[in-house]
Chain A
C-alpha cells in the first residue's frame, strides 16, 4: 500500500506545532500501525531529518504507553485495540491518514505525538491503593471468600491500562472512566472497603485539580476504550462519592 500521512510535528512543549505531510510506500497490510511509523522514521533518519516522536513499548496492547489520535479517533478506527494492535489491513491503498497526539489540557505535548500523562499517576498517588504494608504475616489469601461476580467485575475494572484514550475522546477531557475504574476495583473488594470514603474523595479532588473536565454522559469514552472499560464504573464512582460526601 502507498499512503499519505498528515502528522502533528511539535519540537517541544513551547513550540506552536503544525501538521506535516509525508509519503510511505510498500506498506504491508500485515504491519501494525506503529511498524508503519517505524518505516517512516527509518526513511527520515536516512534523509537526515528528525524522526517522529511517539510513545510505545510493549507493542502487544497491555502497557498503555502508545496513544495517537488517528483519523479523529483515539487508537484509530478498529475497536477494542490499542494503536500498537491496529493493523494496516484496516486501511486502503492510497489513503490519507491523519495522526495527532492525545489532546487535553491535563496532557501537555512533550514532543510531536508524545504527551505527558503523569496527571494519571498523581490521581493514583492520592488514593489508588490499599494501605497494607508488606510483612509476610498478613492473613491467608483464602481467609476472606469473595463473591465470584464481584471479583470478576473488580478484575474487569482493573484491566484499565491507563492510556488516556477516554480523556482524549471526551469533548470535556474528563477522566471519569479512568478514575471510576480504579475506585470500582477497590469498592467491589472487601480489602478496599476500609478506605473507600477517603479514597474516592481524594482521588476526585486530585482529578479536578489536574484540570480534567466534567462528565456529561455521552459515553464516547467507553466506545473508544481499548479495554472495554464499562460506563458502570462511572456510575459506581458517583454512588461511592455521594456516600462518602454524606458521611463527610
Chain B
C-alpha cells in the first residue's frame, strides 16, 4: 500500500482553514447514533474524549489506571508552548512552526507542524477558560519562560506541575461529560486487541484488571491516545504502567509503525543509583533557564571528587568547564535536548563524570542564586555586598520558581541542591516515533486513529521542550474532533456495531490464548528478569550513540531473549483476579517485539538526526566538527514499517518529506 499523507493543497498557512471548510460534517442528531472508543486518558485521549462527547458522539473511554486523572501526562513538569507572542519578543505561528521543524532535525511533516503551531494559541485560551491556574505576573496576566532550542519566551507554566494542571483540566472536561452520561468511563481496563471488521476498526478487546474479565467493546471508530514506549528501556522517566501494547496490537492489525528509533533521551535526569532502581526521575528542562551545566576542567579534580576529597563548591570558576556554553555560545545551556544529552555523554565518556559511576554532570544554581539575590537586595535597598544575605534572598527566588523540583531531588539523592550543585545524567524520556498517521491522524487502518505521543507526526527526530503537552492537547481538543467527523459522516446509517461477529470472536480468542499461554508457561524467571535484560540491551546498544556492530548484535540478542521469554517466563496466579504480574507480562511480550523493530529501524537509518545518533555519521571537519551529520539526500523520509510476523520480516514503506516552506539546512546552535 502506498502511503498517502492526505495533505491538503494550497499555501501552508491556508491548508487547515481550507480543509475545515471542505470536510464532511455529521449533523448533531446523527452524532447521537455514532459511538467512538478512546483508549488512554492523558492529555490527548482525555481532551479528545471530552470534546467528542461535547459534540454529541457517544464516547467510551478506557484507562489502565484507577482514574483517568492519573495518566502519565500528569508528570510533565516544565510547561506548554504556544505562539501567543504575549512577550512581544518576535514570536509568531511561523516561528513556532520553524523552531519545531528545525528542532526535530527536519524529519517531521511540515503541514502537520504548521497546524500544530496554528492551534497552539487556542489551547491556552481553552485551558484558562476551564480554570487551569497558570502562573501569572503581578499585573494579573500570564507569565512565560524559555525552553531549549528557541530564542523567544513562549512557554506557559504552572510551577513545575504544568502537566498535572493541564491534565486535571482535561479530566474536568471529561467529568462533565461522564456526569451527563456522554462518556462511559472504564477505569482499570487494558486494551489487548483491536477488532477489524470489513477493513475498518470497529472495536477493541479489553481485560478488566480487577476481575480479569475479557470484554468486547464496539464502536464506529477507535482512537488510541496511549502514549509512548520509552519503557522498552526498562529504566525511563515513564510511569511504571506506561506501555506500547495498544499501539503494538494496532500495528499487528495493520497500522504501520513509523520511525521507532526516534527516542528522546532527556539531558537532565537524576542519575541511576543502583540495580534496585525501578524508574528514573526527570528534573525539568525549565531548570536550564537558571542552572549552568559543567564538569571539572582537570581530571585530578574529577578523581578527588569521586573519592570524596573535594566538593564541587570548592572548585574555582576557572577550573570548571561549562561545556555547553563553550561549544554552543548562541544557545548555551538552552540547546535542544538531543544536543545537551550527547554533550554530557561526550564529557562522561572522556572520563569527566562526577559521581561514583562516572555518569553524572553538574547542574549548578549558584550563579542564578547570586544574580537573583543581588536583584532582590537592590529592590529592597539592602546591602548587595552582604554575601550571606544575597544568597538567602536568591535562594528564596529559586525556591519560588522550582521548589517542588528541588524537593524531589533532595528526597531521592539526599543532598541539598540549594547549597551544592545537582548531579544529572541523560535518561530515556519520550518517543517521537509511533503509529504512522496521515494529516487526519488516521493510521493505515481505516477508522483507527492515533493521537499525542502514540503517533509519530509532529516532532521529527527530536522534540523540543514543552511541545508534548501542546501536541497532546492540539490533537485532542482541536484536530481530531474535526478530522474524525469527515470519516464518520459515512457511518450515519450504519447503526450500532454488533460484538457478535466472527471478527470479535477471533480477537477475543486471540487474547485468551495469549493470557493462557503466559499463565501456563511455568518457566524459571520473572517478568522483570526479562524486562531488565531487554532494557540493558537497548540502553547499551540502541541508546544515545549507535553503530552497525552494536545494532546488529542487539537485533540478535533481542530475538534470542524473546525466545527465552516464551520458554522460561513465569507468571503466578490466575486470569480471574487482580494480577499485576500478568498485566506486566503482556506488556513485556510486546516490548520484546518492538525492541527488535526499533533496532532494525536504527540500523537502516544510516545518518545521524535528532535523537538518533550514528557514530558513523559525524561531521569530520569545519566549524561543526563532531556534530551529527544528517543525510537529506537519502533519508529525508518517514520510515513506516508494516507488520509481517517476525520483526525481522517487517516491510519498509517510505513517506518522502517535502520541505517547501522551510529551507533544509544543517541544524546549528553555535
Contact = CB atoms under 8 A, between A and B. Distances in A.
Interface of A: 11-12, 28, 30-32, 34-35, 38-39, 42, 44-46, 48-51, 53, 55-65, 78, 80-81, 85, 87, 89, 110-111, 114, 116-118, 120-121, 124-126, 128-134, 136-142, 145-148, 151-152, 154-155, 158-159, 161-162, 185-186, 189, 191-192
Closest 9 CB pairs of A and B: A145-B140, A129-B172, A155-B133, A125-B179, A141-B128, A154-B133, A111-B578, A129-B176, A57-B239
B581 interface: yes
B70 A129 contact: no
B426 to A, nearest CB: 17
A134 B67 contact: no
A132 B411 contact: no
A70 B577 CA distance: 25
Contact of A30 (B119, B168, B241, B273): B273
B536 to A, nearest CB: 17
Contact of B414 (A89, A129, A139): A89
Contacts of A162: 67, 69
A45 B570 contact: yes
Contacts of A50: 572-573
B159 interface: yes
Given A121-B175, A130-B130, A158 B165 contact: yes
27 contacts: A12-B577, A31-B274, A38-B276, A46-B526, A49-B572, A57-B72, A60-B281, A60-B408, A62-B75, A111-B577, A118-B187, A124-B175, A128-B172, A130-B172, A131-B176, A132-B129, A138-B126, A141-B84, A141-B125, A141-B128, A148-B140, A151-B136, A152-B136, A155-B135, A161-B164, A191-B129, A191-B130
A193 to B, nearest CB: 10
Nearest to A136: B122
B287 to A, nearest CB: 15
A130 B273 contact: no
Most buried by B among A12, A57, A154: A57
Contacts, number: 209
B74 A58 contact: yes
A32 B67 contact: no
B528 interface: yes
A185 B137 contact: no
Interface size class of B (residues with CB under 8 A): 35 or more
Contacts of B548: none
Interface string B43-85: 0000100110010000000000111111010110000000010
Contact of A148 (B126, B136, B161): B136
A42 B129 contact: no
Contacts of B397: none
Contacts of A55: 66
Contacts of B481: 134
Contacts of A57: 65, 70, 72, 239-241
A201 to B, nearest CB: 14
Interface string B181-193: 0000101000000
Contact of A155 (B54, B69, B158, B412): B158
A46 B595 CA distance: 26
A45 B526 contact: yes
Nearest to A11: B577
